[in-house]
Chain A
Amino acid sequence: MSERRPHELLQTGEGQRVCMLGNLAIVRGALEAGVQFFACYPGTPSSEIGDTFAQFAEDEGIFFEYSINEKIAVEISFAASLTGARSMCAMKHLGLSYAGDPVATMPYVGVEGGMVIVSAGEPSLLTSPNEQDHRHFNRFLYYPIFDPASPQDALRMTKYAFELSESTRLPVILRPTTRICHSSGMVELGTFPEQKNKLAFNKNPTRYVPIPGNARRMRKELTLRYQHAEKLLQSSAFFPRTGSGPKGIIAGGIAYAYAAQVIADLGLEDAVTLQKIGAYPIPESILLDFLASVESVLVVEELTPFIEEWISLTAFRSGRLLPILGKHTGYFPIEFEYTPDLVEDAVRRYLKLGERQQRTVAVPELPARPPVLCPGCSHRASFSLVNRVFGKRTVYSNDIGCYTLGYGEPLNTCDILLCMGSSISQASAISRTTKKRTVAFIGDSTFFHSGLPVLVNALQANDDITVIILDNHVTAMTGFQPSWVTDNETTNNKPLNVTAEDVDRPGRLIIENAVRGLGISDVTTVDPFCEAQALAALKHAKLGKGVNAIVFSSPCVVYERRVSSNRKRPAYVVSDELCNGCTLCVRSLGCPAIMVTDGKYVIDQALCDGCDLCAQICKHGAITAVEVEGACRS
């Protein structure tokens, strides 16, 4: 390990300008602030933050963990801050809402070491079931919030956020969105601190225990600390104003980048005054100065009219009544990401510049590329077996993970879905009201994230449900982070450095034992690729009473391939003579490797993983394994 070149983020180079991914700029900012403790639960678009820390945290003396869920990540980094540690936790927006309970009380208690929560937002719901505008945690719970418009902002804001947090004792939220997390841009590197905070817990129950008597006192202190934050932000660098025209534009987040681009491209610097909002609370004096210097305002921000309503209120209270245009006046939508075109159109309308030149480009109808389960995925095996035993009428309650792709044709094993862990609770309710055995699917990481309490709840009500735990030994969807069943001995919490043995070895925890320990005796573990055994387990579960469970255990095939260099499986071919074109393989599996070319069924050797599932399912024995040199990926 010591032979390796230090990670690029650990290299000094004060003043050097490099091109850096937004998520990495956040990590660099935290390192420059002297971060000492980091916890996260992976989720797009935040995952690279934790995965990057994982690569060097231990060597750098930074406490690191992939937490079991976001609530724990928040709590553990908060308590670490109470011992003086500069601490950070990272998650996607859904995770921060999941962690709402501790998040609501933390500003009352207050931090010791600076604490930054990264909540990566996802306008346009690219991988999420909802959009959330987490800037509202500012008004809702008095969090200072930073809203970067570029990777450079992400670095500077992260670094400053630790300072602000420590000076005000308020935990701080950094809220990048997809276009910041997954964009690269030029950043200027700063220095690392010479010393880090000393760590110790000094007993002080009146300060750390928010029982009502203390919490009421804390509530008043919170107001003062929040006002202090506003004052500090007033002299910060996150509210620059550029241009000199009478037409005002105020913007935040990536929408600021689009607005600045439109102004540059159309040469509007003398017509427009552009005010950037990089943090909340917006210091009142900044808004008053801006309002005094323009004759009207266009507000450019994604999602809710947060800046718009803030500045409207300030204008009204100060008696500066000028037109404030934005979402309330139909200039912008309240849903989805903005685009450069959308912003240009609004700016043109605002400045009466005439419409953007548009060409009509007739894009022909093209085949889509929806996400599908990979060739060789064990979830496909599990779903096809469950379909064979439980049939089309059973209600399938699904959960968050790769296996959500059971949705739709041809697997049809996702009839209901809500959030992490909801598969079991929703199955409970449906079985209770319809009086029919209902099936819940949940993956290993999600099971520990939030499946355990709902499983106990189902047990307590004795609901007729079959819980199928899809254990692929890793948190696959977000990039192979370890879950509680991944063997910690070998992974050492480093998803990128695991060895081949790790995948086959039983992990830290056997899920079946956990389920049994709760009091569910009817539970068994099978490999979904062992057809006879798996079918027997499913048939048994179908006839059972109350809560029963099956653990389908088989490693994620992509993960396995990544960590095992000598993995060989046979290639499969379809015999033209034996295949009668019954379509069963395609209809029941939907494997990407099975192609239909001129009415003939062909297995793409570059895609086939050699899992044997289609051979098991073919009633005509048309699909067989052959030894072909180099045919299947090793």
Chain B
Amino acid sequence: MSNDLPDRSCWRILIVGTGGQGVLTVARLLCDCFVACGYDVISGQLHGMAQRGGSVQSSIIIGGAFSPVIATGGADIVIGLEPVETVRAMPFMSSRTLVYMNTCPVIPFTLAIESVLKTGTGEYPDIGQLQKNLSAITTGVIAFDATALAAQIGSEKAMNMVMLGCLFSSDVLPCSAETFLETMTNNTPKNRQKLSTAAFCAGQKIGEVCTIGNHRP
């Protein structure tokens, strides 16, 4: 049998980003980690046509839930690996939602075509404005350039680990950072473990200095 969650029936986490950013990897690791903690987990993914650069969403529901799909306003935590995709997930947020957003954009492929053919604005939205949009819904927004941080450590590809480190810096989730690191190490090829761990720790440090006040999802 599975463990019961403290204080609540379910945790609902939504992970969003673009194809190639590691959304599904984050989802897989979180799934494995919470299963290792003894919880029931269900998870859904939506990635349409599997092209690089498309929008990707994955949901993880911890605790004995039936639906792998999160209802509007139903996400406790949103992990946004890309700013536009984070804002696209706004319907799933509420005033309780805790949002972790990477501020480094992935420019949509079609912007150049839009600007040349004048079929759209051809411009990527202002990041500051996107953050304001999020703040209008919830005070629990932590936004920082995780891609730049990952690049400093060794590779932009470790951005998703930076984000996870930030998530595990607080004790919002019923699972410790140590348990996560153990799961991650077991599921990551040897040659990438050092980078992933370093990125995770860097993210943790960011999380520790970010203040979200009394915000609890």
1/0 contact trace for A595-615 toward B, CB 8 Å?
Answer: 110000000000000000000
Separation in Å of the A290 CB from the closest CB of chain B? 19
Contact of A18 with B by CB under 8 A: yes
Q: Tell me whether B68 and A179 are in contact (CB under 8 A).
A: yes
Distance (whole angstroms) from the CB of B147 to the closest CB of chain A = 11
With contacts A182-B46, A371-B51, A587-B117 known, is A592 near B109, CB below 8 A? yes
- Report B-chain residues with C-beta under 8 Å of the C-beta of A127: 48-49
Partner of A183, one of B9, B45, B113, B125: B45
Do residues B133 and A364 form an inter-chain contact, with CB atoms below 8 A?
Answer: yes
Residues 555 to 608 of chain A near chain B (Cβ within 8 Å): 558, 583, 586-587, 590, 592, 594-596
User: Which chain A residues border B48 with CB–CB below 8 Å?
Assistant: 126-127, 371
B113–A363 touching, CB < 8 Å: no
Closest to A180 in B: B68
Total inter-chain residue pairs, C-beta < 8 Å = 150
**Which residues of A are found within 8 Å of B136, using beta-carbon distances?**
362
Option from A44, A371, A558 in Cβ contact (under 8 Å) with B54: A371
Q: Which of A126, A477, A583, A596 has the most CB of B within 10 A?
A: A596
Could you tell me the distance in whole angstroms from the C-beta of A387 to the nearest C-beta in chain B? 15
Find out whether the CB atom of A366 lies under 8 angstroms from the CB atom of B67.
Answer: no
Contact A592 B40 (CB under 8 A): no
> Which residues of chain A have C-beta atoms less than 8 A from B43's C-beta?
19, 183-185
Q: Which residues of A contact B93 (CB under 8 A)?
A: 361
A23 to B31, CA, bound (A): 17
- Chain A residue, CB-CB nearest to B72: A341
Please determine whether B51 and A372 come into contact, CB atoms closer than 8 angstroms: yes
Chain A residues within 8 Å of B90, by CB? 361, 363
Chain A residues near B113 (CB-CB < 8 A): 409-410, 586, 590
Minimum Cβ distance to chain A for residue B13 (Å) = 13
Which residues of B sit under 8 angstroms from A362, Cβ to Cβ?
133, 136
Query: Which residue on chain B has the smallest CB distance to residue A184?
Result: B43
A186 touches B2 (CB 8 A): yes
Min distance, Cβ B164 to any Cβ of chain A, angstroms: 18
Alpha-carbon distance A590/B108, docked complex (angstroms):
12
A595–B69 contact, CB under 8 A?
no
For A19, give its contact among B35, B84, B124 (CB under 8 Å).
Answer: B35
- In the complex, which residues 65-90 of chain B have their Cβ closer than 8 Å to any Cβ of chain A? 65-74, 84, 87-88, 90
The CA-CA distance from A501 to B120 in the complex, in Å, is 43
User: Which residues B84-139 have CB closer than 8 A to chain A?
Assistant: 84, 87-88, 90-91, 93-94, 107-117, 119-122, 124-125, 129-130, 133, 136-137
A4 within 8 A of B: no
Whether B49 contacts A364 by the Cβ 8 Å rule is: no
Q: With A257-B66, A369-B55, A369-B109 known to touch, is A340 a contact of B74 (CB < 8 Å)? A: yes
B73 near A596 (CB under 8 angstroms)? no
Q: Is the CB of A364 within 8 A of B42?
A: no
Q: A264-B66, A366-B87 are in contact. Are A184 and B31 (CB under 8 A)?
A: yes
Structural contact, B110 and A261, CB atoms closer than 8 A:
no
Residue contact A359 to B108, C-beta cutoff 8 Å: no
Q: Is A368 an interface residue (CB 8 A)?
A: yes
B110 and A595 form a contact (CB under 8 A): no
Q: Are A184 and B66 in contact (CB under 8 A)?
A: no
Shortest distance between the CB of A607 and any CB in chain B (Å): 8
B145 within 8 A of A: no
Q: Is the CB of A340 within 8 A of B84?
A: no
On whether the beta carbons of A257 and B111 are closer than 8 Å, the reply is: no
- Evaluate contact between B51 and A367: CB separation under 8 angstroms: no
Q: Residue of A at shortest CB range from B130? A: A364
Most buried by A among B44, B55, B116: B116
Q: Are B66 and A261 in contact (CB under 8 A)?
A: yes
Answer whether residue B142 sits at the interface, using C-beta atoms and an 8 A cutoff.
no
Distance in Å: Cβ of A278 to nearest Cβ of chain B? 14
Sorting the interface of chain B by its residue count into under 10, 10 to 19, 20 to 34 or 35 or more gives 35 or more
Within the complex, the shortest CB–CB distance from B57 to chain A, in Å, comes to 11
Q: Given A363-B88, A363-B90, decide whether A410 and B42 contact each other with a Cβ distance below 8 A.
A: no
A587 and B116 in contact (CB under 8 A), knowing A17-B2, A183-B44, A366-B87? Answer: yes
Is B52's beta carbon under 8 Å from chain A?
yes
Contact residues on A (Cβ < 8 Å of other chain), bracket: 35 or more
User: Is A479 close to B, CB under 8 A?
Assistant: yes
Nearest CB in chain A: distance from B159 CB, A: 13
User: Assuming the A-B contacts A17-B2, A369-B108, are A261 and B42 also in contact, with contact meaning beta carbons closer than 8 angstroms in the complex?
Assistant: no
Instruction: List chain B residues, Cβ under 8 A from A467.
Output: none
Tell me whether A361 and B66 are in contact in the complex, defined as CB-CB below 8 angstroms, given that A183-B45, A369-B18, A586-B112 are known contacts: no
Contact in complex: A261, B125 (CB < 8 Å): no
A150 touches B (CB below 8 Å) = yes
B32/A409 in contact, CB under 8 A:
no
How far is B119's CA from A359's CA once the two chains are assembled, in angstroms? 32
B213 to chain A, nearest CB (A): 21
- Residue B53 at the A interface, CB < 8 A? yes
**Inter-subunit contact A592/B68 (CB<8 Å):** no
Q: Are A596 and B32 in contact (CB under 8 A)?
A: no
Closest to B156 in A: A606
- Name the CB-closest residue of A to B1: A17
Q: Does A339 contact B (CB under 8 A)?
A: yes
In the docked arrangement, what's the CA distance between A368 and B87, Å? Answer: 12
The reply to whether the CB of A439 lies closer than 8 angstroms to some CB of chain B is no
Q: Which residues of B contact A479 (CB under 8 A)?
A: 50
Which one, A126, A361, A586, contacts B116 given CB within 8 A?
A586
Is there a chain B Cβ closer than 8 Å to A112's Cβ?
A: no
Q: Kindly state the separation between the CA atoms of A256 and B67 in the bound complex, as whole angstroms.
A: 9
Task: Give a binary string over A148-166; 1 marks a CB under 8 Å from any B CB, 0 the rest.
Answer: 0010000000000000000
A-B pairs with lowest CB-CB distance, top 9: A592-B109, A340-B71, A261-B67, A183-B68, A260-B66, A185-B42, A184-B43, A371-B51, A261-B66
Given A260-B67, A369-B110, A596-B116: 11 more A-B contacts, CB < 8 Å? A44-B49, A184-B44, A341-B72, A361-B72, A361-B93, A367-B110, A369-B53, A369-B109, A374-B51, A477-B50, A586-B112
| A interface residue numbers (CB < 8 A to B) | 17-19, 44, 126-127, 150, 179, 182-186, 256-258, 260-261, 264, 339-341, 344, 358-359, 361-364, 366-372, 374, 409-410, 477, 479, 558, 583, 586-587, 590, 592, 594-596
- 29 residue pairs from A and B, CB less than 8 Å apart: A19-B32, A150-B42, A179-B68, A184-B42, A185-B41, A186-B41, A260-B67, A340-B74, A341-B71, A358-B72, A361-B91, A361-B137, A363-B90, A363-B91, A363-B133, A367-B125, A369-B54, A371-B54, A372-B53, A372-B110, A409-B113, A479-B50, A583-B116, A587-B117, A590-B113, A592-B53, A592-B109, A596-B115, A596-B116
